[in-house]
């Protein structure tokens, strides 16, 4: 008897990459940002119980409304502010705490909880809280800061290394299923920036909804946010509505436009699907429009949706409810995947260390350490404390030592070069 022909649709979320040991948590994104503007000493403290300075909104201070990133420390101020916003979005009840969560949510899910109310309180506003003009410019400046976020995400996505990831045997068996049909008969919808499916499992029939590393990545959340409710929630006065709209446009993604582009793709590739498997996907509100699009592309009455049994029964029930709200009319089941992968791992340095090496190579060791001393001695307006004299003097001596060594090296090189010419 001929085997029943089945076609699977796999919906892949960030938990899939995490299961393969790939550092793609939003906390890894935070670490990347900190490697760009923090010293190693401050980064180490921020991972424990570091309670940093209170951030103010960076000011453009020019008629064009754009930051002059050529000015010293302007970019550092922006990076610090974005880091702070992400941390506070995830931990609203832990004021001024830079604790990094280790769960597998994506950066988009965290940004969806951005709360701006505190930036209009007396603690965070250097200006008169009753001044609508100041609040309006605060919104414009916040929007200008968030314009950097998509570029930062693209830069970070390029640094995510998937070369050491190994296939999960049970998942590999699931997509092969011991049949003669090619693996590309199945269709994969990935919400990740990484090419894990292509690199580890050699599949080609993949659509990356949010973009892929090396190309443009799309960051943001659902644009269907009521402007009145947004202003009320964040204590934004009526006079600042236009500025609030600009901020929303910067932090949102045009899901409707993206959905239009993906509609034909889903309709063609999802034809004949009998089973849907979701792996590491948290069904965040920002991504539900795409699930709705999939459900509208095919008749789901006879389709079975398989949820990973890694999640609790209560969590699976929540997922099923969300899926049904998106228009799914089929049945549900669970499946199991062993998370063990090959133990072959290549030890690599952190983004902070790589950034330090690159900076030393570009600047020279002595100039690099001199810059670090200046950074630590409160030359940036948001630095929390000045160095104690006990710590400061040894670092100055260390810097002078490297300057001496480099000068001696240059002198030797010049002497040898002169002798050769003679």
**How far is residue 381 CA from its own chain's centroid?**
26
Under the banding of pLDDT at 50, 70 and 90, the label for residue 88 is: low
Closest C-alpha to 22, from 190, 147, 187: 190
Distance separating alpha carbons of residues 320 and 304, to the nearest angstrom: 11
pLDDT tens-place string over residues 246-304: 766 666 666 666 777 788 888 888 888 999 999 999 898 878 888 999 999 899 999 99
Residues 6 or more apart in contact with residue 213 via CB below 8 angstroms? 154, 157, 158, 160, 193, 194, 195
The 3-state DSSP class for residue 333 equals strand
Distance separating alpha carbons of residues 404 and 422, to the nearest angstrom: 27
Can you read off the two tokens belonging to residue 295? 């459900």
Under the banding of pLDDT at 50, 70 and 90, the label for residue 382 is: very low
Distance separating alpha carbons of residues 9 and 203, to the nearest angstrom: 13
CB atoms within 10 A of CB 20: 22
Residues 6 or more apart in contact with residue 311 via CB below 8 angstroms? 319
**Residue 379: pLDDT over 50:** no
Question: Which residues share a beta bridge with 374?
Answer: none
Rank 31-45, 127-141, 214-228, 288-302 by mean pLDDT and report only the highest.
Answer: 288-302
Q: Whole-model pTM?
A: 0.68
Largest CA distance in the chain: 91
DSSP of 176-200, one letter per residue?
Answer: HTT-SS-GGGSEEEE-SSS-HHHHH
Write out the H or E segment, with its range, that includes residue 244: helix 241-251
pLDDT at 1: 36
| Sign of the alpha-carbon torsion through 282, 266, 299, 171 | negative
| Sign of the alpha-carbon torsion through 175, 177, 182, 186 | negative
Residue with tokens 């609040």: 135
Whether the CB-CB separation of 278 and 11 falls below 8 Å is answered with yes
Can you read off the two tokens belonging to residue 279? 């792996």
Whether the CB-CB separation of 6 and 276 falls below 8 Å is answered with no
Query: Edge-to-edge strands of the sheet including 187-190?
Result: 206-208, 187-190, 8-12, 275-279, 304-308, 331-335
Question: Which residues share a beta bridge with 12?
Answer: 190, 279
Closest C-alpha to 56, from 147, 110, 120: 120
pLDDT at 188: 94
Rg (CA), the chain: 26
pLDDT tens-place string over residues 313-367: 999 999 999 999 999 999 999 999 887 544 444 455 555 666 667 767 766 766 6
Distance separating alpha carbons of residues 317 and 324, to the nearest angstrom: 11
pLDDT tens-place string over residues 190-226: 999 999 999 999 888 899 988 888 877 776 555 566 6
Under the banding of pLDDT at 50, 70 and 90, the label for residue 387 is: very low
Can you read off the two tokens belonging to residue 416? 């040898």
Q: Of 46-50, 184-188, 318-322, give the lowest mean pLDDT range.
A: 46-50
Whether the CB-CB separation of 193 and 217 falls below 8 Å is answered with yes
**Residue 129: pLDDT over 50:** no
pLDDT at 28: 84
DSSP letter, residue 121: S
Q: Of 96-105, 165-174, 192-201, give the lowest mean pLDDT range.
A: 96-105
pLDDT tens-place string over residues 392-421: 666 667 667 767 776 676 566 666 655 555
Give one word for 59, left, alpha or beta, with left for phi > 0 and alpha for psi -120 to 50. beta
Distance separating alpha carbons of residues 326 and 294, to the nearest angstrom: 9
């Amino acid at each position: 008897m001929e085997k029943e022909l089945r076609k699977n649709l796999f919906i892949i979320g960030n938990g899939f990459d995490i299961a393969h040991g790939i550092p793609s948590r939003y906390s890894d994104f935070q670490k990347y940002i900190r490697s760009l503007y923090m010293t190693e000493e401050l980064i180490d403290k921020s991972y424990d119980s570091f309670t940093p300075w209170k951030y103010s909104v960076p000011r453009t201070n020019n008629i064009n409304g754009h930051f002059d990133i050529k000015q010293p420390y302007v970019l550092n101020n922006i990076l610090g502010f974005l880091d702070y916003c992400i941390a506070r979005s995830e931990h609203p009840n832990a004021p001024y705490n830079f604790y990094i969560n280790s769960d597998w949510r994506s950066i988009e899910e965290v940004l969806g909880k951005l709360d701006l109310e505190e930036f209009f309180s007396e603690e965070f506003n250097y200006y008169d809280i009753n001044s609508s003009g100041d609040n309006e410019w605060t919104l414009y400046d916040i929007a200008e800061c968030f314009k950097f976020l998509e570029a930062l995400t693209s830069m970070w996505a390029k640094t995510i290394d998937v070369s050491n990831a190994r296939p999960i045997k049970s998942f590999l068996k699931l997509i092969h299923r011991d049949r003669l049909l090619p693996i590309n008969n199945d269709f994969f919808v990935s919400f990740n920036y990484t090419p894990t499916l292509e690199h580890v499992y050699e599949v080609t029939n993949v659509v990356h909804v949010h973009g892929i590393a090396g190309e443009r990545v799309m960051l943001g959340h659902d644009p269907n946010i009521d402007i009145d409710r947004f202003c009320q929630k964040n204590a934004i006065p009526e006079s600042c509505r236009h500025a609030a709209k600009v901020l929303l446009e910067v932090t949102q993604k045009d899901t409707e436009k993206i959905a239009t582009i993906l509609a034909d793709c889903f309709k063609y590739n999802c034809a004949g699907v009998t089973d849907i498997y979701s792996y590491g996907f948290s069904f965040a509100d920002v991504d539900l429009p795409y699930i709705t699009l999939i459900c509208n592309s095919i008749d789901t009455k006879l389709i079975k949706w398989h949820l990973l049994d890694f999640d609790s029964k209560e969590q699976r029930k929540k997922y099923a409810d969300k899926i049904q709200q998106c228009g799914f009319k089929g049945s549900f089941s669970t499946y199991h995947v062993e998370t063990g992968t090959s133990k072959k791992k290549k030890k690599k340095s952190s983004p902070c260390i790589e950034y330090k090496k690159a900076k030393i190579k570009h600047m020279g060791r002595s100039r690099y350490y001199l810059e670090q001393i200046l950074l630590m001695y409160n030359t940036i307006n948001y630095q929390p404390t000045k160095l104690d004299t006990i710590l400061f003097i040894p670092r100055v001596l260390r810097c002078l030592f490297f300057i001496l060594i480099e000068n001696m090296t240059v002198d030797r090189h010049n002497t040898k070069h002169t002798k050769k010419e003679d």
